[in-house]
Amino acid sequence: MKKLLDLITEEVVKAFEACDYKGEYGKVTLSNRPDLCEYQCNGSLAAAKEYHCAPIQIADKVVEELKKSSVFEEALGVKPGFINLKVSSLFVQEYLRKMAEDERLGCHKAENPRTIMIDYGGPNVAKPLHVGHLRSAIIGESVKRLGRFVGHKVIGDIHLGDWGLQMGLIITELKERKPELPYFDESYMGEYPKEAPFTISELEEIYPTASARSKEDEAYKEEAMEATYLVQHGHKGYQAILQHILNVSVADLKKNYASLKVEFDLWKGESDAQPYIPDLVAMLKEKGYAYESEGALVVDVKEAEDTKEIPPCMILKSDGASLYTTTDLATIVDRMKLYHPDEIIYVVDKRQEMHFVQVFRCARKTGLVEDETGLKFLGFGTMNGKDGKPFKTREGGVMRLENLIADINEEMYEKIAGNSEIGEEEARETARIVGLSAIKYGDLSNQASKDYVFDVDRFTSFEGNTGPYILYTVVRIKSILNKYRALGKDPDSCVVGVPGNETQKSLMLLLARFNGAVENAFEEAAPHKLCAYIYELANGFNKFYHETKILGEEDETVRDSLVAVLVLTKRVLEICIDILGFEAPERM
């Protein structure tokens, strides 16, 4: 369906043209004075320059023309040259009827679906999943869902950090503790045990211990580096340990991400890119892109228009080791070869921006991607505590994701159990559902690139711009619809009528903005725009709810029309929260 705003613009463009002005001046926007009008067109101001007359003359002339249109209830020329518009009730009614009949509520489905890969999550294997990785998961998941809703083929890849020193550290520490294990016996020829020699909690203790020790003990660090080299170069026993680490970690990660309703299509990692590195390096040398600089192998990526220094992209260190950049370049090779994406979006901490500038430029320059392939860095800011510093536990340590979720759920449970008569079990389940909305909405409602303060009290509040407030609105509608059903009636068979008053009309106009809101959020990969839209919609609905007798309305046609608006509001909100990655409970 065409967007309502576009239909209105078309009408105004026609009117400009009928008055012999260029149609391009007929662009309409939402009114910035909602007390005066619903939409406005400021084109007469610009047109006046071209046609050498007073803007108001043009506005008045166009307004005369607009009065003939059935789209508008009111068109007014206002000095110096604005056109203030109110659409007709019948026009709104018709638009909403069509929208309600459409399964996609008026949203286009991409005609030429693109393949979009999203690189998000990015946890590091064997290190506990902490809040630093929360934003990537939440934002990436939502961008993925948004893309799918719009009709694209979207592939989410977790891109595990499974190729670093942490592997060597764990192997070294394990060797200290359990030297008798067959992995450390160089003459061992048999099969290695299927069972991992550690649990996830042990693993999570082993890594920080080893990491701390390596900072004090030079010999220990050397050994860890040696082990890292060996595991990366085919040492059988160490590779068996690596596999154990991966299995144990991935099982735990899956559990954690599931509790966040975050699902990846691919569980690939940095290690999957390694096999491509030798050929990649050879190609870069052969084609003359890479050269040696102070022993290292680099590719220049600076461009003439640069205003700041962009250092060369490092491919190999002087000792021949590959780097994070090398891995990301090789991952692009893997992705282009196996999935042929039209675009790759990286949802990563914005502090890594320079790394991606280098990687993207290098990939383009050296032909790893085609000219048309999009490479997009969606950098996000830091999640801070109320003190404005990166979010920590009360004791000042790194907050584990699991604990954060548990804390929020507890907070939600207290509220819900205190508020209603629902039983313990349902209250716990509801707390989980609402808690997730608090976390996700708290994050997504901010522009991704900005830092934000993770404020548990605010995020879990049922009032204000929060997830629970949105859910509360959905639950409120569900409850009215249930009562309507209890009267033996079917809400889904109700049809939208003309709005009965201004509040109803503005709610209906808000609903009509749904397709535009989705389109806009997708184009800018900006879930916060969808949040802003549903917050406005929820406010519009709650105002309507407080002012309107719904089931108490005596005129059945009017009542059913109100119910139809309720149904539509619920559908819009439910689609939006699903795109944002959470859901609403039955009651709360």
Residues that bind ligand ARG (CB under 6 A): 119, 122, 124, 159, 161, 328, 346, 348
- Of the pair 223, 270, the CB lying nearest ligand ARG is at 270
Helix (H, G, I), strand (E, B) or coil at 85: strand
Smallest separation (angstroms) from ligand ARG to the CB of 441: 24
Of 310 and 417, the one with the shorter C-beta distance to ligand ARG is 310
Cis peptide before 312 (omega within 30 of 0): no
- Among 197, 198, 211, which residue's Cα sits nearest to residue 168? 211
Nearer to ligand ARG, 249 or 445 (CB): 249
Residue 119 Cβ vs ligand ARG, minimum distance, rounded to whole Å: 5
Contact 564, 461 (CB under 8 A): no
Provide, rounded to whole angstroms, the least separation between the CB of residue 126 and ligand ARG: 12
**Residue 376: in which H helix or E strand, if any?**
strand 374-380
Cβ(296)–Cβ(317) below 8 Å? yes
Task: Choose between 119 and 443: whose C-beta lies nearer to ligand ARG.
Answer: 119
DSSP-derived 3-state class of residue 333: helix
Cα–Cα distance measured from residue 334 to residue 315, given in angstroms and rounded to the nearest whole number: 17
Nearer to ligand ARG (CB atom), residue 176 or residue 349: 349
Q: Which residue has the tokens 């859901």?
A: 583
User: Residue 187, class by beta-carbon neighbours within 10 Å (0-12 exposed, 13-18 middle, 19+ buried)?
Assistant: exposed
CB of residue 85 to ligand ARG, shortest distance in Å: 47
Q: Which residues pair with 153 in a beta bridge?
A: 115
* Alpha carbon distance 185, 12 (integer Å): 81
Q: At 303, is the secondary structure helix, strand, or coil?
A: coil
Dihedrals φ, ψ of 196, to 5°? -70, 145
Handedness of CA 94, 96, 98, 100 (dihedral sign): negative
Cβ-closest residue to ligand ARG?
Answer: 122
Cα(381)–Cα(245) distance, integer angstroms = 30
Judged by CB, which is closer to ligand ARG: 379, or 491? Answer: 379
Is 4 or 348 the residue whose CB approaches ligand ARG more closely?
348
Joined tokens for residue 293: 């600089």
Tell me the closest approach of the beta carbon of residue 215 to ligand ARG, in angstroms. Answer: 19
Nearest distance, CB of residue 535 and ligand ARG, angstroms: 30
- The residue (of 113 and 379) whose beta carbon lies closer to ligand ARG is 379
Residue 172: count of CB within 10 angstroms of its CB: 23
Strand partners, 393: none
CB of 512 to ligand ARG, least distance (A): 39
Nearer residue to ligand ARG within complex by CB, 123 or 435: 123
Task: State in angstroms the smallest separation of the CB of 331 from ligand ARG.
Answer: 6
Minimum gap (Å) between residue 124 Cβ and ligand ARG? 5
Rounded to 5 degrees, φ, ψ at 548 are -120, 135
